[in-house]
Amino acid sequence: MFTLCLEFKIIMPRKRRELYNKEICACSIFGAMNRDGDRFTAEGVMKAIANMHVRGNGLGGGFAAYGIYPDYRDYYALHLMFTGHDWEAKRSAKQDFDAFLCENFDVVHDEEVPHRDESTVTDPPLVWRYFVLPNKKGDEAQLSDEDYVVKKVMWVNTQIEKAFVFSSGKNMGCFKGVGYPEEIGEYFMLDRLYRAYTWTAHGRFPTNTQAWWGGAHPFSLLDISVVHNGEISSYGTNRWYLEMYGYACTLQTDTEVIAYAADLLMRRQHLPVELVAKILAPPIWNSIDRMNESERKLLTALRMVYGPLLMNGPFAIIIGQTGKMIGLTDRIRLRPLTAATRGAMFYLSSEEAAIRLISPQLDDVWTPNGGEPVVGELKNIRMVKDEVIRLS
C-alpha cells in the first residue's frame, strides 16, 4: 500500500510552476518629503534619480506622489493600465473594466492620465485614472471601504485580462513604465502637472523577469507604495503567506509582496512601523540571544508568528504612505541607503550624490543601520486649498 502511494505521488502530474518571479538588480531608489506638507513638483526628484542613471538599464522607472489630488482627496484614485498589442485591444480591456467599475463603484470623475506623445517611451499602455467611492452591496456591505477596495483591486488584477490597477490610494498616485525614470517622468509630465509633499522614485535593472509597464516600481495598494533595490529570495514563501490573506501577486516582480505585507501589517493589523521593520528584517538569532529578556521575548514571538513574512535577501526599500516616508534595508544592509535632512526636507537615496545635486547643503547625512527603519513624518498636514493643476 505504501509503495502504491509513493508511485501514485510520483506519477501525479505536477502543477506547472512559473519560474519568472525573480529579479536581481542594482536599481536606484530616491525619496523626498517636505515634512511641513509644502508641495513641490517632481523636477528635482527627476534630476536626482537621473543622476543615478547608471544603476538602472532603462527597463523600468516610476514615481509615487502624495498630495497630488487635493480636489479629490476623499475619493480613491484608481490608476489603470490597459495593455495589449494594438489600440483595439486596449480599448476592449478598458470596456471590460468600465463595466466592472460601474457595478462596484460610484465614479465621480475619470480621464486619461495626461502624457506627452512625442516621448521616447516604447509601447505605452493606455493609462486612465478614475476617482471613485465604493458602492458596497449585499454581503460586501460589511467590509470596510479599504478592504472592499483591496478586494476589488485583486479581482481586477486576476480576472480582467490586460487591465491592471497599479495605484489605488486617496490623494496619491503612482506613475510608472518601461524606460529610464527621467523618461517616465517626462512622459507623464510630472515636473509640470503635479505637486506632492512626498515623491518616491525608482530606476530599474531587471534581470530575472521581463520588463513590462506593470512590473516597474513603485508597487502600490491603497495609499502604500514601495520602491525597492535588491532581490527578495523569500518571494515564494512570502507570496504563499499573503495569498492566505487574499493578496494575489500578479505583477511578476518580487517587490509586490512588500507592498501587500505592508498593507497587511500596517493597515489591517495596526502594527507600528518599528515592529513591521522587525518582521520584514528581523535581527539574526545570535543578536536576539544577546538582548534583554523583554526584547528577546518580543523578537522571538515576532519571528515565530511572522516567519513567512521575513524578507530574505538583499534589499533597500522606501515605503510611502499618507503623511509618512519610511526607509529600510535588510538586516545586514546588503543594499545602500543614505538618509539626509535639510530644514523641513527629508531625503532617502541609494547614493548621497543624488541628494547633494538638488540640495547641496544638508543638515545631517547618515546611512541607517540594517533593519532599522528611518521614518519621516508630516509635522502637520496642511489643508491645501489650491486648485488641481490641469493641462492648459
The set of catalytic residues is 27
Determine which residue in the list 46, 77, 93, 262 makes contact with other proteins, applying CB under 8 A. 46
Which residues, 359 to 388, sit near other proteins by CB under 8 A? Answer: 365, 367, 369-370
The residue count for binding other proteins (CB under 8 A) is 28
Candidate ranges 47-55, 92-100, 127-135, 374-382; the one touching other proteins (CB under 8 A): 47-55
Give me the 145-184 binding string for other proteins, x by CB under 8 A, dash otherwise: -------------------------------------x--
- Number of Cβ within 10 Å of residue 82's Cβ equals 21
Q: Is residue 313 a contact residue for other proteins (CB under 8 A)?
A: no
Comparing CB distances to other proteins, the nearer of 20 and 366 is: 366
**Beta carbon of residue 365, minimum distance to other proteins (angstroms, whole number):** 6
Determine which residue in the list 24, 36, 43, 96 makes contact with other proteins, applying CB under 8 A. 43
**Beta carbon of residue 372, minimum distance to other proteins (angstroms, whole number):** 11
Which residues, 268 to 287, sit near other proteins by CB under 8 A? Answer: 287
Give me the 231-270 binding string for other proteins, x by CB under 8 A, dash otherwise: ----------------------------------------
Q: Is residue 352 a contact residue for other proteins (CB under 8 A)?
A: yes
Q: Is residue 23 a contact residue for other proteins (CB under 8 A)?
A: no
Q: Is residue 122 a contact residue for other proteins (CB under 8 A)?
A: no
Q: Is residue 305 a contact residue for other proteins (CB under 8 A)?
A: no
Candidate ranges 14-22, 42-50, 160-168, 254-262; the one touching other proteins (CB under 8 A): 42-50
Q: Is residue 302 a contact residue for other proteins (CB under 8 A)?
A: no
Comparing CB distances to other proteins, the nearer of 318 and 354 is: 354
Q: Is residue 229 a contact residue for other proteins (CB under 8 A)?
A: no
Comparing CB distances to other proteins, the nearer of 152 and 204 is: 204
**Beta carbon of residue 4, minimum distance to other proteins (angstroms, whole number):** 40
Q: Phi-psi bin for 200: left (phi > 0), alpha (psi -120 to 50), beta?
A: beta
Determine which residue in the list 37, 169, 185, 327 makes contact with other proteins, applying CB under 8 A. 185
- Give buried/exposed letters for 219-237 (b at 16+ CB in 10 A, else e): bbbbbbbbbbbbbbbbbeb
The answer to whether the CB of 53 falls within 8 A of the CB of 138 is no
Q: Is residue 330 a contact residue for other proteins (CB under 8 A)?
A: no
Residues that bind other proteins (CB under 8 A): 43, 46-47, 50-54, 182, 185-186, 191, 287, 290, 332-333, 336, 338, 351-354, 356-357, 365, 367, 369-370
